[in-house]
């Protein structure tokens, strides 16, 4: 039986630095846990443009469609600001999402106890927070037609159309219920069924999917604006939240900042199952390419390492090993190690990107 395959796309800025630490973790799992991966590496973003004149070469796109999972670092930087829109680094990422049909965007909001003081909320509200927001990623108001800016009488009017089909709602709802079964078995669906017909359809389809195929999962419904308020009031009441593209964009950023450490958070974008049963999947940290610190060893690799933990859990059915990696990171933070972005205490010297990666490996060794 062949090893599962990973395509690594380090990208631009700090991407190669943080991905180098992920490679250490991948190698550790092969050496110490018998979890070997067939790893290949390629270019995306600005570095791909520099070499090929395009932010994503066709051959790289073909590889992404063949492997079991893609792990991406970051793309972009001021060097590429004046490029034509069609070849900007971000277009490479958007092409990956579109052609892999990654409709389910998983955005965790997890607060390690050692970093609870970084949140703007009270420590007891966020300490131990571990929720997941699933955002529908390929439809909704960002893609609906008609859209544009038009002349209407003596003034201009901007139009965007919120549009969802039953099948689009059905598949992201199933993604949420399946994920909930691996977590706390609880889903809250958020929309605006009180004022939007698309919200009415969303609620009806999610309820139907639940009643027919997932009656074992606890389901609740909440208006998205009330959900935003509840996220700030008591976020630990939630486990999995599923919502549309627009509300998911807003709610996931709000929830991420509850943790006080946006730059430490991973994400996953999942599509339909392939022939081997695994979903098409792209894993990436939420943070950007941070060109101002690239090459200086200051970047925090934890978000990228946690993205690999998500791959272990959701692509490779290695939930116990994902937990092992997350607990290793928690131990490192509890021991007081901090990269420069996490310094909040006087007298604490920052560790480098590589030192943080080495500390995670040491904590993994200690877990055996």
Q: Closest by alpha carbon to 123, among 224, 258, 321, 247? A: 258
Distance CA 300, CA 185 (A): 32
Helix (H) or strand (E) run with residue 222 in it? strand 218-223
Rg of the chain taking only CA atoms, in angstroms: 21
Determine the Cα–Cα distance for residues 326 and 234; give it in Å rounded to an integer: 23
Closest CA to 284 of 259, 303, 300, 256: 303
Check whether the bond before 146 is cis (ω within 30° of 0): yes
Judge whether 107 and 267 are in contact, CB under 8 Å. yes
Please name the helix (run of DSSP H) or strand (run of DSSP E) that holds residue 104, with its range, or none: strand 104-110
Per-residue tokens: 227? 């959900």
User: CA 359, CA 174: separation in Å to the nearest integer?
Assistant: 38
Q: Which bin fits 240, alpha (ψ -120 to 50), beta or left (φ > 0)?
A: beta
**Active-site residue list:** 142, 192, 225, 249, 253
> Are 259 and 265 contacting, i.e. CB atoms less than 8 angstroms apart?
yes
Query: What sign does the CA torsion over 176, 182, 188, 190 have?
Result: negative
Largest CA distance in the chain: 72
């Amino acid at each position: 039986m062949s090893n599962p395959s990973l395509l690594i796309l380090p990208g631009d800025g700090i991407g190669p630095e943080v991905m180098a630490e992920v490679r250490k973790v991948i190698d550790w799992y092969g050496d110490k846990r018998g979890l070997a991966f067939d790893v290949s590496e390629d270019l995306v973003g600005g570095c791909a443009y520099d070499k090929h004149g395009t932010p994503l070469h066709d051959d790289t796109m073909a590889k992404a469609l063949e492997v079991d999972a893609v792990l991406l670092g970051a793309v972009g930087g001021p060097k590429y600001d004046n490029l034509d829109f069609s070849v900007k680094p971000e277009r490479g990422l958007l092409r990956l999402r579109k052609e892999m049909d990654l409709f389910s965007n998983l955005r965790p909001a997890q607060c390690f106890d050692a970093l609870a003081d970084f949140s703007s909320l009270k420590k007891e509200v966020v300490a131990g927070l571990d929720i997941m927001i699933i955002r529908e990623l390929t439809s909704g108001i960002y893609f609906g037609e008609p859209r544009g800016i038009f002349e209407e009488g003596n003034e201009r009017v901007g139009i965007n159309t919120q549009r969802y089909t039953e099948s689009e709602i059905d598949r992201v709802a199933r993604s949420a219920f399946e994920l909930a079964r691996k977590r706390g078995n609880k889903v809250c669906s958020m929309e605006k069924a009180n004022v939007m017909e698309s919200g009415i359809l969303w609620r009806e389809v999610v309820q139907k999917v639940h009643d027919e195929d997932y009656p074992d999962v606890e389901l609740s419904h909440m208006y998205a604006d009330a959900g935003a308020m509840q996220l700030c009031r008591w976020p630990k009441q939630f486990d999995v939240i599923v919502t549309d593209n627009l509300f998911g964009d807003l709610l996931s950023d709000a929830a991420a900042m509850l943790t006080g450490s946006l730059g430490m958070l991973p994400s996953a974008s999942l599509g339909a199952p392939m022939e081997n049963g695994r979903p098409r999947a792209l894993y990436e940290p939420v943070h950007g390419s941070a060109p101002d610190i690239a090459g200086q060893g200051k970047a925090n690799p934890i978000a990228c390492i946690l993205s690999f933990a998500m791959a272990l859990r959701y692509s490779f059915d290695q939930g116990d090993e994902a937990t092992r990696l997350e607990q290793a990171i928690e131990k490192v933070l509890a021991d007081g190690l901090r990269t420069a972005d996490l310094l909040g205490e006087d007298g604490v010297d920052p560790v480098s990107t590589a030192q943080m990666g080495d500390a995670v490996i040491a904590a993994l060794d200690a877990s055996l």
